[in-house]
């Protein structure tokens, strides 16, 4: 009489049943048939039946898998053995059998079962797992199964891109993703994940896995994305009884991103190893080495090496050969495959390497003499990019970051970085490794090539950068918001050369020479000279010709272009100049009779390498009185400068930093320009300025 049938897709079962007392022996049977003839998942939440005995001969609970006319016992438990047991049917029917041979006070069990249409078999194509699946609404309880099976020569690698399942990070009772070994029968619970923290990449030795997602009713916006890849792995097969002294293995990796490493306690026995990278998304491969140490201090790339090929085998084009102790720049395939071969003719104790691989379409080769490089989350889907600058002009490259928002430096750039290399060859040295929001004003290469390697953690939001680059070539048009150029006299340099500073930002140009020596010191400057134009030199606006040695040359254009025209009529040893220009985002003009301003202005606090200009412009025959109050900036943080003049050539009046008294500056014949420069994210309230425009000296 103690028999029950369940035909729902989800339910709870409790024992003893309410109408049966527990102080007598029981024989009960629960028959579960799922709708739609699909598998079901079952878990014992509580279990305490009978006493512990060999093979549970007395009281017990058993679960029988019914698949057509075939019955198979999945498990049999007594005492507390069944608690937290997980099972998966092969068909659409299960039997739960309870038998007690005597009354035991407190005997009970509670079981939950679920059958769901949200089931996926990934045996043939273990690639991308996304929840909620497209056909299932995310505002209802989700109970989904993914069954993964790979051949014996493969391992399963699971990598999460996003994870927002909700619930408590430490208590996965309500909302969780569970991972089990096997796809039917009694399952071993391997791991569970909940909350909103993205799990690490996992490699499984098991060849069969089940993923089970269980969420409560409030599941809107709860989701996860993962990549599942079978990695082929072969050890050299040796005759039975042969002692293993040499391990040769090969691995095929299809995940879009991951790590490769060689080392560990058995590394002395590995002579040959092969890795084939063939990402399932069909994109090109970026391979970056964290470190390489092969062959000891005296490297011999003929006996101990890592070779990287542009294809699936060693028959493909050889990209690079590495040995010794180095940290090479990233290497890029031309297609969706890369083959890595490790050879160790001689085994050294400290041999090792670590590398990271990513599939990406964000790989660029740049030859234009100037341009922009940028990445913003949301605009660019790739999370790892390579830019190789190979400029035709034989001159250094000036790289300047206009904006950088990456992970904090305190995290050792773990969540994202920008690495800049001085060249494009394998042994090019690193110039900078950047993260956070602090960056150098300028990064300059030695030659005409540069590599920029960018990587960001896809889980981290609000990351971006903007950079401009310029070839520091003679006779070049500069279009970046800021830049620098150098000239050194040589016998081969042309007689005339024009540098056109015409930034895309279309703001006034602030130009400074840190060094200047051109021709002889003559008043007329008829020989070697540099002409400075406040605009386009082909149409107008010559400010002055300069020659000889100059100790202070500062200019501010009234237009959005400034030209420099060099006349190098005769070679003079030692002639040279170095100049730097800026187009500050923060440019403010004051023409009222009186007023005040604050440095930095609103919305500019915290900006790295802030540059601000305030131009106080009087009418003709008027004077300016300026007061700088509460100057609070250390000389290592930046400086406040005041110049006489508001366009053309400026003359420095004062330079202020560290703790100073208030300053008063008077100008009777021209306006004044206040210039703020910071080397760090601009602190608030650096100074206050007040001014008055009044009658000139003659009035």
Whether residue 72 has pLDDT greater than 70: yes
- What band does 266 get if pLDDT is binned at 50, 70 and 90? very low
At residue 389, the 3 state secondary structure works out as: strand
Which residues have CB under 8 Å from 484's CB, separation 6+? Answer: 398, 442, 444, 472, 578, 579, 580, 581
Q: Is the pTM of this model over 0.75?
A: no
* 430/450 Cα distance (integer angstroms): 10
Across the strands, what pairs with 467? Answer: 373, 401
pLDDT at residue 338 is higher than 70? yes
| Same fold yes or no, 119-230 and 363-471 | yes
Confidence at residue 506, expressed as pLDDT on a 0 to 100 scale = 83
pLDDT of residue 361: 93
User: What is the pLDDT at residue 552?
Assistant: 86
pLDDT at 219 over 90: no
User: What digits encode the pLDDT tens for the residues 268-294?
Assistant: 467 888 999 998 888 999 999 988 888
Just give the CATH number of 477-582.
2.60.120.290
CA atoms within 13 A on the CB side of 133: 15
For position 242, what pLDDT does the model report?
A: 43
- What pLDDT score was predicted for residue 101? 82
Residue 157: pLDDT band (50, 70, 90) is confident
Q: Which pLDDT score, from 0 to 100, does residue 104 have?
A: 60
Q: Architecture of 586-695 per CATH?
A: Sandwich (2.60)
Separation CA 159–CA 200 (nearest Å): 7
Share of the chain above pLDDT 70, in %: 91
606 vs 359, more confident: 359
Per the CB < 8 A criterion, the answer to whether 5 and 18 are in contact is no
User: CA-to-CA distance for 643 and 650, rounded, in angstroms?
Assistant: 6
Chain mean pLDDT for the chain: 86
Q: What does the CA dihedral 203, 209, 214, 219 come to, rounded to 10 degrees?
A: 60
* The CATH fold of domain 236-360: Jelly Rolls (2.60.120)
Question: How confident is the model over 366-397, as pLDDT tens digits?
Answer: 999 889 999 987 777 889 999 999 998 888 99
Three state DSSP letters for 58-87: CCEEEEEEEECCEEEEEEEECECCCCCCEE
Highest mean pLDDT among 145-154, 194-203, 325-334, 404-413: 325-334
In the chain, what are the domain boundaries? 3-115, 119-230, 236-360, 363-471, 477-582, 586-695
Q: Which secondary-structure segment (H or E) carries 459?
A: none
Average pLDDT over residues 446-472: 87
314 confidence band (pLDDT: 50, 70, 90): very high
Burial class (CB in 10 A: 0-12, 13-18, 19+), 682: buried
Task: Verify cis geometry, omega within 30 degrees of 0, for the bond prior to 175.
Answer: no
Q: What is the reported pLDDT for 284?
A: 96
- Determine the pLDDT at residue 239: 46
* C-alpha Rg value of the chain to the nearest Å: 36
Tell me, what's the pLDDT at 69? 84
When mean pLDDT is compared across 93-107, 169-183, 243-257, 313-327, the lowest value belongs to 243-257
Q: Residues 598, 689: contact at Cβ < 8 Å?
A: yes
Mean per-residue pLDDT, 411-427 = 85
Q: What is the pLDDT of residue 267?
A: 54
- Residue ranges with strand state E in 575-635: 576-582, 586-590, 594-599, 611-616, 622-629
In the structure, what pLDDT confidence band is assigned to residue 215 with cuts at 50, 70 and 90?
Answer: confident
- Can you give the pLDDT at residue 582? 93
Instruction: Identify whether the C-beta of residue 164 lies closer than 8 Å to the C-beta of residue 133.
Output: no
Beta bridge partners of 64: 73, 95
Which tokens hold the place of 566?
A: 């060099």
The Cα-based distances of 602 to 587, 607, 612, 682 in angstroms read 13, 11, 12, 11
What is the predicted pLDDT for the residue at 698?
55
Residue 104, SS3? coil
180 pLDDT above the threshold of 70: yes
Torsion angle, CA of 161/165/171/173, rounded to 10 degrees?
-130
pLDDT of residue 599: 93
Please, what CATH class does the domain formed by 3-115 belong to?
A: mainly beta
Domain spanning 119-230, CATH architecture: Sandwich (2.60)
| pLDDT above 80 for 123 | no
Q: With b meaning 16 or more CB within 10 Å and e meaning fewer, what string describes 547-581?
A: beeeeebbbbbebbbbbbbbbbeeeeeebebebbb
Q: How far apart, in Å, do the first and last CA atoms of the chain sit?
A: 118
Least confident of 110-114, 484-488, 551-555: 484-488
Distance in angstroms (rounded) separating the CA atoms of residues 613 and 449: 34
Q: What is the pLDDT confidence band of residue 244, given thresholds at 50, 70 and 90?
A: very low
For the chain, the residue count is: 699
Q: Which fold has domain 363-471?
A: Jelly Rolls (2.60.120)
206 C-beta neighbours (distance < 10 Å), count? 16
Place of tokens 């395939």: 333
Spatial CB neighbours of 19, under 8 Å, sequence gap ≥ 6: none
- Alpha-helical (H) ranges within 303-434 are none
Q: Which has more confidence, 302 or 242?
A: 302
pLDDT score for 139: 62
């Amino acid at each position: 009489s103690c028999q029950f049938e369940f035909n729902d897709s989800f339910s709870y079962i409790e024992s003893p049943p309410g109408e049966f007392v527990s102080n007598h022996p029981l024989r009960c049977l629960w028959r579960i048939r799922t709708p739609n003839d699909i598998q079901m998942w079952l878990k014992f939440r509580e279990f305490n039946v009978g006493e512990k005995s060999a093979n549970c001969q007395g009281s017990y609970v058993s679960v029988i898998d019914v698949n057509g006319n075939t019955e198979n016992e999945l498990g049999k438990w007594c005492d507390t053995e069944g608690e937290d047991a997980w099972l998966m049917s092969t068909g659409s029917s299960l039997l739960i059998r309870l038998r007690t041979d005597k009354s035991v006070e407190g005997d009970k069990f509670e079981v939950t079962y679920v059958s769901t249409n949200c089931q996926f078999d990934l045996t043939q194509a273990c690639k991308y797992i996304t929840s909620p699946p497209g056909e299932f609404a995310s505002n209802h309880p989700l109970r989904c199964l993914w069954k993964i099976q790979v051949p014996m020569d493969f391992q399963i690698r699971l990598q999460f891109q996003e994870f927002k399942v909700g619930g408590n990070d430490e208590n996965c009772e309500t909302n969780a993703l569970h991972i089990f070994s096997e796809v039917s029968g009694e399952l071993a619970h391997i791991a569970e994940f909940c909350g909103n923290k993205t799990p690490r990449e996992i490699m499984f030795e098991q060849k069969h896995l089940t993923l089970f997602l269980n969420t409560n009713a409030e599941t809107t916006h709860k989701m996860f994305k993962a990549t599942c890849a079978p990695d082929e792995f072969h050890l050299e097969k040796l005759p039975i009884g042969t002692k293993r002294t040499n391990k040769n293995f090969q691995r095929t990796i299809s995940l879009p991103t991951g790590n490769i490493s060689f080392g560990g306690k058995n590394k002395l026995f590995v002579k040959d190893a092969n890795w084939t990278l063939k990402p399932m998304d069909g994109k090109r491969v970026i391979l970056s080495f964290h470190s390489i140490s092969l062959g000891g201090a005296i490297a011999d790339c003929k006996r101990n090496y890592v070779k990287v090929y542009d294809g699936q085998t060693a028959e493909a084009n050889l990209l690079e050969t590495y040995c010794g102790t180095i940290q090479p720049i990233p290497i890029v395939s031309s297609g969706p495959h890369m083959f890595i071969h490790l050879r160790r003719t001689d085994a050294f104790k400290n041999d090792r390497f670590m590398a990271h691989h990513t599939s990406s379409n964000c790989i660029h080769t740049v030859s234009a003499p100037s341009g922009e490089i940028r990445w913003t989350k949301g605009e660019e889907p790739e999370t790892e990019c390579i830019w190789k600058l190979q400029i035709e002009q034989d001159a250094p490259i000036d790289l300047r970051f206009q904006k950088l928002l990456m992970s904090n430096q305190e995290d050792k750039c773990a969540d994202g970085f920008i690495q800049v290399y001085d060249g494009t060859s394998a042994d090019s040295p690193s110039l900078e490794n950047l993260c956070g929001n602090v960056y150098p004003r300028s990064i300059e290469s030695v030659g005409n090539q540069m590599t920029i390697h960018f990587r960001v953690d896809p889980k981290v939001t609000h990351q971006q950068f903007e950079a401009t680059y310029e070839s520091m070539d003679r006779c070049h048009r500069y279009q970046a918001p800021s830049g620098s150029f150098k000239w050194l006299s040589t016998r081969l340099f042309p007689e005339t050369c024009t540098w056109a500073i015409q930034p895309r930002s279309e703001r006034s140009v602030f130009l400074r020479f840190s060094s200047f020596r051109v021709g002889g010191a003559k008043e007329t400057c008829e020989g070697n000279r540099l002409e400075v134009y406040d605009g386009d030199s082909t149409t107008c606006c010559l400010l002055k010709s300069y020659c000889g040695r100059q100790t202070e040359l500062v200019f501010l254009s009234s237009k959005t272009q400034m030209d420099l025209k060099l006349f190098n009529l005769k070679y003079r040893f030692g002639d040279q100049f170095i100049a730097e220009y800026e187009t500050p985002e923060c440019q403010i003009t004051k023409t009222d009779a009186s007023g005040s301003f604050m440095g930095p202005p609103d919305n500019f606090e915290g900006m790295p390498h802030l540059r601000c200009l305030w131009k106080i412009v009087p009418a003709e025959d008027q004077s300016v009185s300026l007061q700088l109050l509460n100057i609070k900036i250390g000389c290592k943080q930046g400086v406040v400068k005041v110049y006489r003049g508001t366009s053309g050539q400026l003359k420095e009046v004062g330079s202020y930093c560290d703790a100073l008294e208030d300053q008063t500056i008077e100008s009777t014949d021209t306006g004044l320009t206040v210039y703020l420069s910071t080397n760090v994210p601009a602190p608030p309230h650096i100074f206050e300025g007040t001014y008055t425009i009044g009658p000139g000296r003659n009035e």
